[in-house]
Amino acid sequence: VILTVTLNPALDLTYGVDTLVRHGTHRVRTVAARPGGKGLNVARVLHQLGEPVGATGLIGGGTGAEILALLADRPHAFAPVAGTSRRTVTVVDGDATGFWEPGPTVTPGEWASFRAHFAALLDGADVVVLSGSLPPGVPADGYAALVTAARAAGVPVILDADGEPLRHGVAAGPDVVKPNASELAAWWRTPPGGGDPYAAARRMRSAGAGAVIATRGAAGLLAVTPDGAWRAAPPQPVPGNPTGAGDACVAALARGLRHGTPWPQLVADAVALSAAAVTEPVAGSVHLPTYAHLRDTVVAEAAGPAAVPTEEC
């Protein structure tokens, strides 16, 4: 199975209102509640593709119970924490305004128990996906510890993180890292849009990542891997909601690693699947006809050397 890790899952609430007014009181017209968190989005896309998937992470309180109830029909093995899992509230009035709770504070004991729980789950895992933010209390090298454990167990691991957790995680040597443009720029300490993303991706490999899949919104992605570098893009930008397109990309990468798909095919597949996530209004879901169409259309092009040229070192 593909094991997805969501350390800070959320009850994702969407409120539909007529017009959002700052300092106003609103009649909420529609309420939708879904399980949220990037690892759960990845799991949902994999499930839609018929791939065997299991979800783990940390969960707690009444909100945690609601999230688990919404996951009831899916295999999951979350570890309990004493605190209460977060809610993420999006107010939609045509445009979207978000309110993200921080999540529960995880104690050192809870984090130690989770690491033992995770190590046990590695036994049955073909691929591990680590994605999303860390709740308060989980150390910045939390993902690095999980990467190290997965590597020790011989399970390929994909990391989709930002900031310090990304920095530490890369150094632990994950097989695949998936930054978007701003995460890669921040990692390289260049302004977004500045710098050469190939050079940044090659540098990330030399810092420990096995392969770097740098996504670039509607411009597609570039991949710098041990077997070479490729780029691929959708034939044209797809209209819709790009939130969660990166999660669909990670789902494609996880499936490809599990099946040993060669990189050029995998890169093209990831572009097709993530574009099909844009067509869908909510994160964690792909539009299968769009995917089927784009899978036959998108091709990866070779894009230069994978190694760091000596002058960059």
Ligand X SMILES: Nc1ncnc2c1ncn2[C@@H]1O[C@H](COP(=O)(O)OP(=O)(O)OP(=O)(O)O)[C@@H](O)[C@H]1O
Give the residue numbers marked as catalytic. 247
Taking CB under 6 A as the criterion, which residues in 123-162 touch ligand X?
none
**Quick one: which segment of 16-24, 43-51, 57-65, 231-239 binds ligand X (CB under 6 A)?**
231-239
Q: How far apart are CA 227 and CA 306, in angstroms?
A: 7
| Interface mask toward Mg ion for 165-184; x: CB under 5 A | ---------------x----
Pairing relationship of beta strands 86-92 and 10-16 according to DSSP bridges:
parallel
* Residue in 36, 246, 256, 284 binding Mg ion, rule: CB under 5 A: 246
Cβ within 8 Å of residue 145, ≥6 positions away: 115, 139, 172
**Quick one: which segment of 58-66, 83-91, 221-229, 245-253 binds Mg ion (CB under 5 A)?**
245-253
| Residue 265 neighbours by CB distance under 10 Å | 15
CA distances for 142 relative to 122, 166, 208, 220, angstroms:
16, 10, 16, 29
Q: Which does 159 bind (CB under 5 to 8 A by kind): Mg ion, ligand X, none?
A: none
The secondary structure element, H or E, covering residue 107 is none
User: Does the protein bind ligand X through residue 249 (CB under 6 A)?
Assistant: yes
Q: Do the Cβ atoms of 276 and 296 come closer than 8 Å?
A: no
| Residue 312 neighbours by CB distance under 10 Å | 11
Minimum distance, C-beta of residue 239 to ligand X, in the bound complex (Å): 7
Q: Which does 74 bind (CB under 5 to 8 A by kind): Mg ion, ligand X, none?
A: none
Q: Given the rule CB under 6 A, which residues bind ligand X? A: 180, 215-218, 220-221, 234, 237-238, 242-247, 249, 271, 274-275, 278
Q: Given the rule CB under 5 A, which residues bind Mg ion? A: 180, 246
